[in-house]
Chains A and B, each alone.
Chain A
Amino acid sequence: MPYETSYTNQGFNVVGSRVKRPDGIDKVTGRAKYGADMNAAGQLTAKVLRSPHAHALIKKIDTSKAAKLPGVKAIVTGDDFPDHTGGNRGMMDMLENCMARGRALYDGHAVAAVAAIDAETADKALKLIKVTYKKLPHVTDVDEAMKADAPIIHDWVRTAGVQPAPTTASNVAQRSEFGHGDVDAGFAEADVVIEKQFKTEQTHQGYIEPHACLAQLGPDGSGELWVTTQGHFTFRNVCSTLLGLDVAKLKVTSSEIGGGFGGKTHVWTEPVALQLSRKANRPVKLVMTRDEVFRASGPTSSTSIDVKIGAKRNGRITAATAELRYQSGAFPGMWAMFGAMTSFACYDLKNVKSVGFDVLVNRPKVAAYRAPSAPMAAFGVESVVDMLAAELGMDPVEFRIKNAAKKGTKASYGPVYGPIGIGPTLQAVKDHPHMKRRLGKNQGRGMACGFWFNFGGQTCTDLNVGVDGSVNLTVGTVDVGGSRASLGLIAAEELGIDYDQVRVTIGDTNSLGHNDTTEGSRGTFSSGMATIFAARNAIEVLKQRAAATWEIPVDQVVWEAGEARAKGKQNSNLPPLTLKEIAAKSPRTGGPIAGHNEVVADGAGVSFASHLVDVEVDPETGATRVLRYTVIQDAGKAIHPDYVEGQFQGGAAQGIGWALNEEYIYGDDGRLQNPGFLDYRIPVCSDLPFIDTQILEIPNPNHPYGVRGVGETSIVPPLAAIGNAVSNAVGVRMNHVPMSPPRILKAIEDAAES
């Protein structure tokens, strides 16, 4: 029976409280088991040989010497992965990314792998594999890759989304366009038009736990995979497809996950570990090194973006356009499309157009990174919005309030908004005490807005009532940052029991129906929705058992405050039955009591945030220090406020790193020069201040509690907010992220010269 998904404005007993997370003790004692913490009897250690070239033909791979090394149990190359994809191009890309097929497409591309009795032997074996390469011309820059004379990455790629369909190969995999109105007419109406080009460099999610798995695959095609992943069901489907297995025969268990941020949504080494295991018929453990994580997992796009916005003197925007060029690595992606869709989503615009170009380069296959593609687009758009406000002599917050999207606005990417939070977050910025703090010399203040769609998706949840009335909730989304606590709160709320009576388990692929990957800020939104419905399903059973016990019709039974109550005067002699009492009697009233729900959780409410930041720039060194940072975001309903704040703070910190420091640096040889945390420096504790947060709650009409996803939006505004703050501090417009000390110094010097 489908349950009502609409928001009901109910009161709450436990939802919204700051309870302790149930997996806390495991995680502060070292007991929690992550990807690399599992072992199996007789396991082998696997290592991967990777291309040192940005682009090269693989003429020959000679594994004969390595195979003879004592202790080597299996070796695989591209030849060991026959094509089971049935013509599915996306799947073939995934397979080719896991193991090169005749051509190495980027520095770090896997070309062979070894399973041996220990790491030392596996390392030795890698050195004995002889690969004969023929180097090919390469390109790593997004603008260079779009030029007519650029080396072509794939001769089969024809630019999609262009009419008439091109007949020759291009590095532009897709063109996508969004918008409405007449931008030419809009610009003609404008009193002021600002146009500016921006660049952002490639960054990595930087999760502290490298990719790791323990794979077992037998000759009968049955197997098990223990893996750090955001989506064990997706991993099961993809690995089965790539290796020609029956989906039901591969059991995938998600370990505790040491950070993902979108980077653990795709397979990288897992099919390789499974194939090695099948060949050796022994369990195989494969853990990436940090160097491999940087070179060969899925960082975010580097971009090149043009933004043009026009406005009237009264502060109304008349037209806005953007052209967004995103590299997706060596395989097509959807990243420029997301950039084009999100770029103007914060504003109520009559005339708007955004065009995205998805571009192939010799870099690793790009994966999602927290609100993927939105931060770069926001950097361009929110910078130009600030420039326009300055040109018009308007306060940047007021200017944004005047143009902000609201309920009924047709979004630049198509839909018409319901109730949304952009206006309230801007008003909260205006009213925030942060705005009144005085700024000193070399200091600047900046703000910016951000948007993310959020996602729901397929979800399946079980709720089982124990004979003592305690409850086990089994969900299929992984706990990336405290969702066990929020889902436990929801189950307790629905059943009317104590939070401590609920234990939340992340089920493996053989204990639940399919669950989509934990992405799109969907964990608490969609598993929360399925938990509500599974609990309501269990309550139906509880009411039936109470009715049977009382020997009255079930429609005379209601569930209130954790107990069944008999309605009506005729039942006034029947004292309520608690969940505990009904559970105790369950063996004699029909057996186990359970609730279940499967749902496609549609209606994930869109999310908006506004960030405010003060920085100080040292004019001698170009180094920037973040003095104050405030995040204001609409959560719809904060189930567990601590972990909502945590998402706000974490996204802001990642955005600060991206804005000021983090970047992939490629040499002219196309090789990554900084694949380690020493040279790819993410923010450390002493780099940051406390990050202030304010949670707004504008209910999502499509969720019973009003929940919106909260995980991603917080990384969208920081690039632009800091860009605006630094520009205000140094008096020069910054248009290249990261704003590292050399870039800031150069901008100051260039401005002084001109």
Chain B
Amino acid sequence: MSGVTVSTTVNGDAVQFVCPPSESLMDVLRNRLNLTGVKEGCGTGDCGACSITLDGRLVCSCLVLGAEAEGRQVETVEGLSENGKLHPLQEQFIEKAALQCGICTPGFLVAAKALLERNPNPTEEEIRYALAGNLCRCTGYDKIVRAVQSAAKIMRRSRKA
């Protein structure tokens, strides 16, 4: 099958790949670019484990074609920490024990970052609805919500400083 050549930006770096026109962006990221922090839980957009942002918008990468990444900005969990420093969300997920098995964690981090960029001071309810597209089967979400609240607070404080 003839492939499509795609030029895109992934986590700030210019990237080129060739993929069949039917291949999902999730498969491209995992299998062609080796970004296996993007997880597959269902392949049907129901679990959010493959969450990424495309031009800043939160999407399930299993529902996006690789070809659609042409000329866009793709952000995955691998791009969250900068200059060797963990993002406050990453730090707080560890600090607050917000992960058990950790398979859903990359998706939650990407979704929570998208939320906090849009709304730096979300209520508990806003957090819960913003993360409702991400399934976690281990934690009951309690410590995840607390970690996001805590990271939001830290980020607001550092913005003021």
> Is B20 close to A, CB under 8 A?
yes
Chain A residues 3 to 50 lying within 8 A of chain B, measured CB to CB, are: 18, 20-21, 23-25, 27-34, 36-37
Q: B39–A209 contact, CB under 8 A?
A: yes
**Residue of A642, A678, A690 touching B145 (CB-CB under 8 A):** A690
> Is B161 close to A, CB under 8 A?
no
Min CB distance A197 to B, Å, is: 30
> Is B44 close to A, CB under 8 A?
yes
**Residue of B35, B46, B134, B137 touching A259 (CB-CB under 8 A):** B137
> Is A120 close to B, CB under 8 A?
yes
Q: B102–A27 contact, CB under 8 A?
A: yes
> Is A513 close to B, CB under 8 A?
no
Number of chain A interface residues as a range: 35 or more
Q: A120–B20 contact, CB under 8 A?
A: yes
> Is A572 close to B, CB under 8 A?
no
Min CB distance A688 to B, Å, is: 6
Most buried by A among B20, B35, B136, B138: B138
**Residue of B86, B101, B129, B132 touching A207 (CB-CB under 8 A):** B101
Decide yes or no: A482 and B97 within 8 Å by CB, A29-B90, A676-B46 being known contacts.
yes
Count chain B residues whose beta carbon lies closer than 8 angstroms to a beta carbon of A: 58
Residues of A within 8 A of B66 (CB): none
| Bound form: Cα–Cα A120–B21 in Å | 12
Q: Which partner residue on chain B sits nearest A653 by CB separation?
A: B140
Segment at the interface with B among A108-116, A384-392, A643-651 = A643-651
Q: B134–A685 contact, CB under 8 A?
A: yes
Q: A677–B47 contact, CB under 8 A?
A: yes
> Is A208 close to B, CB under 8 A?
yes
Min CB distance A692 to B, Å, is: 9
Q: Which partner residue on chain B sits nearest A714 by CB separation?
A: B140
Min CB distance A440 to B, Å, is: 18
Residues of B within 8 A of A654 (CB): 137
**Residue of A23, A28, A653 touching B90 (CB-CB under 8 A):** A28
> Is B67 close to A, CB under 8 A?
no
Q: Which partner residue on chain B sits nearest A692 by CB separation?
A: B142
Residues of B within 8 A of A24 (CB): 93-94, 99
| Bound form: Cα–Cα A310–B76 in Å | 60
> Is A449 close to B, CB under 8 A?
no
Q: Which partner residue on chain B sits nearest A680 by CB separation?
A: B46
Q: A684–B102 contact, CB under 8 A?
A: no
Q: A290–B44 contact, CB under 8 A?
A: yes
**Residue of B36, B41, B101 touching A210 (CB-CB under 8 A):** B41
Residues of A within 8 A of B93 (CB): 24, 28
Q: B42–A676 contact, CB under 8 A?
A: yes
Q: B46–A678 contact, CB under 8 A?
A: yes
Q: B99–A653 contact, CB under 8 A?
A: no
> Is A480 close to B, CB under 8 A?
yes
Residues of A within 8 A of B135 (CB): 206, 208, 677, 682, 684
0/1 interface trace, chain B 1-43, chain A, CB 8 Å (1 if under) = 1000000000000000000100000000010000111111111
Q: A37–B128 contact, CB under 8 A?
A: no
Q: A691–B102 contact, CB under 8 A?
A: no
> Is A132 close to B, CB under 8 A?
no
Q: B137–A27 contact, CB under 8 A?
A: no
Residues of B within 8 A of A685 (CB): 127-129, 131-132, 134, 136, 141, 144-145
Residues of A within 8 A of B37 (CB): 29-31
Most buried by B among A205, A676, A677: A677
Q: A258–B102 contact, CB under 8 A?
A: yes
Decide yes or no: A27 and B43 within 8 Å by CB, A650-B138, A684-B132 being known contacts.
no
Residues of B within 8 A of A258 (CB): 39, 41, 101-104
Min CB distance A212 to B, Å, is: 9
Residues of A within 8 A of B39 (CB): 34, 208-209, 258
| Bound form: Cα–Cα A77–B81 in Å | 47
Min CB distance A488 to B, Å, is: 14
Q: A259–B103 contact, CB under 8 A?
A: yes
Min CB distance B113 to A, Å, is: 12
Residues of A within 8 A of B125 (CB): 686
> Is A214 close to B, CB under 8 A?
no
Q: A18–B97 contact, CB under 8 A?
A: yes
Chain A residues 657 to 708 lying within 8 A of chain B, measured CB to CB, are: 676-678, 682-688, 690-691
| Bound form: Cα–Cα A621–B37 in Å | 40
Residues of A within 8 A of B78 (CB): 29-30
| Bound form: Cα–Cα A646–B1 in Å | 48
Q: A481–B101 contact, CB under 8 A?
A: yes
Q: A208–B47 contact, CB under 8 A?
A: yes
Q: B106–A30 contact, CB under 8 A?
A: yes
**Residue of A20, A25, A120, A646 touching B100 (CB-CB under 8 A):** A646
| Bound form: Cα–Cα A34–B44 in Å | 20
| Bound form: Cα–Cα A690–B105 in Å | 19
**Residue of A28, A205, A209, A686 touching B99 (CB-CB under 8 A):** A28
Instruction: Give the A-B contact count at a CB cut-off of 8 A.
Output: 181
Decide yes or no: A28 and B134 within 8 Å by CB, A649-B139, A649-B142 being known contacts.
no
Q: B101–A677 contact, CB under 8 A?
A: no
**Residue of A28, A34, A209 touching B94 (CB-CB under 8 A):** A28
Residues of B within 8 A of A30 (CB): 35-38, 76-78, 106
| Bound form: Cα–Cα A290–B103 in Å | 15
0/1 interface trace, chain A 469-491, chain B, CB 8 Å (1 if under) = 00000000000111000000000
Min CB distance A553 to B, Å, is: 46
Residues of A within 8 A of B47 (CB): 208, 290, 677
> Is A634 close to B, CB under 8 A?
no
Min CB distance B66 to A, Å, is: 14
Q: Which partner residue on chain B sits nearest A656 by CB separation?
A: B140
Decide yes or no: A37 and B104 within 8 Å by CB, A29-B81, A677-B42 being known contacts.
no
Decide yes or no: A290 and B132 within 8 Å by CB, A650-B137, A650-B139, A677-B47 being known contacts.
no
0/1 interface trace, chain B 84-128, chain A, CB 8 Å (1 if under) = 001001100111110111111110010000000000000001011
| Bound form: Cα–Cα A18–B95 in Å | 9
Q: A480–B101 contact, CB under 8 A?
A: yes
Residues of B within 8 A of A28 (CB): 77, 80, 86, 89-90, 93-94, 99, 102, 105-106, 109
Residues of B within 8 A of A208 (CB): 39, 41, 47, 49, 101, 103-104, 135-137
> Is A75 close to B, CB under 8 A?
no
Q: Which partner residue on chain A sits nearest B91 by CB separation?
A: A28
Q: Which partner residue on chain B sits nearest A647 by CB separation?
A: B100
> Is B153 close to A, CB under 8 A?
no
Residues of B within 8 A of A650 (CB): 100, 137-140
Q: A210–B40 contact, CB under 8 A?
A: yes
Min CB distance B147 to A, Å, is: 10
Most buried by A among B40, B97, B101, B137: B101
Q: B137–A34 contact, CB under 8 A?
A: no
Residues of A within 8 A of B133 (CB): 684
| Bound form: Cα–Cα A686–B90 in Å | 22
Residues of B within 8 A of A360 (CB): none
Q: A677–B46 contact, CB under 8 A?
A: yes
Q: Which partner residue on chain A sits nearest B77 by CB separation?
A: A30
Residues of A within 8 A of B105 (CB): 27-28
| Bound form: Cα–Cα A493–B8 in Å | 51
Decide yes or no: A209 and B140 within 8 Å by CB, A25-B86, A30-B77, A677-B47 being known contacts.
no
A: residues with CB less than 8 A from B are 18, 20-21, 23-25, 27-34, 36-37, 120, 205-210, 256-261, 287, 289-290, 480-482, 642-643, 645-646, 649-650, 652-654, 676-678, 682-688, 690-691
Which 5 residue pairs across A and B have the least CB separation, nearest first? A30-B37, A258-B103, A653-B140, A481-B100, A27-B102
Can you sample 15 A-B contacts with CB below 8 Å? A24-B93, A27-B105, A28-B80, A28-B105, A30-B36, A30-B106, A120-B20, A206-B135, A208-B101, A208-B135, A256-B103, A287-B40, A480-B101, A688-B141, A690-B145
- Beyond A650-B100, A684-B135, 11 additional pairs, beta carbon < 8 A: A24-B99, A28-B80, A29-B86, A209-B39, A258-B102, A259-B137, A260-B101, A650-B140, A678-B44, A685-B132, A691-B140
